[in-house]
Homo-oligomer: A and B are copies of this chain.
Amino acid sequence: MTRSPIAGLMFLWLLLGPLLSGAQAAADREKLLTEPGIYGTFAVFTLDEEWAKQELSTRIAHLATFKGVVEQYREKVAIDLYLLRGLSDQADLLFRIHATELRETQDFLLDLRSSQFGKHLKAAGIMHGLTKKPNYVPGFPDQMKAELKTLSEAGPKPYAIVIPIRKSPEWWGLDQEKRAGMMQEHTAATMPYLKTIKRKLYHSSGLDDLDFITYFETSKLEDFHSLVLSLEKVKEFHYTRRFGNPTLLGTIQSLDEIIELLAQ
């Protein structure tokens, strides 16, 4: 993407903003991203029509307030950013926020919306889920459990996909054993993709009009397509009342990359 040399200089200034107190913040973030009992929020925004009409210098000043709010909350909540524009319907930005309490997520989003940048954001959707210990895995065969520990390949995974799911009342009406059997078949279908697709599950019942939020990262969208196709073919899929609607597809971006893109 093209940009002017003046804008480049102004970004330098932006990038010199307050930095996290390093190790502590990283430890907290690691914990928020890996432990059970953490709330994950997916907040989708569109930019209003005013934004694109602002002067470059105004946009850069506003983006500095954006950076300020994100930096301020980085020690309490883990914030990940995704660019949806150009890949998802009528949405521009996705924030994934992990926190031990949803009040902290609300505080962050309130301050974000109150910032000069935030006044240009229009809320397009919000979903919440909770991380929990695996429900069915303990009952799986040992070999399967071992394979599930396969780490996904190192290297950048530029794409993220978020698919909300609601099960049918019939699903919840099945006994635990029957559900476990179907989830084993479901999990077996995902095995060929463990290396190239990173995944994370959030439980939503009661927090939103969903039962689950499924989150994926990959560098190979073709593999992700094959994975979903496999999942559509297992028996458990018959008990899914909503799959997507919306399917959010975007690219993972650092705060500075997003700021640079939005300045244009």
Give the B-binding residues of A (Cβ under 8 A).
1-2, 37, 39, 43, 48-49, 52-53, 83, 85-90, 102-103, 105-111, 113-114, 119, 123-126, 128, 130, 158-159, 161, 163, 169-170, 172-173, 203-209, 211, 221-222, 224-225, 227-229, 232-233, 235, 237-238, 240, 243-247, 249, 251, 261, 264
Contacts and interface: CB of A to CB of B under 8 A. Distances in A.
Q: How many copies of this kind of chain does the complex include?
A: 5
22 contacts: A52-B114, A83-B110, A85-B110, A85-B123, A86-B105, A86-B110, A86-B126, A87-B126, A89-B123, A110-B264, A170-B238, A172-B233, A172-B237, A173-B235, A203-B229, A205-B228, A206-B227, A207-B224, A207-B249, A209-B243, A209-B245, A211-B232
Contacts of A48: 49
| 4 smallest beta-carbon distances between A and B, as pairs | A206-B228, A86-B109, A86-B106, A172-B232
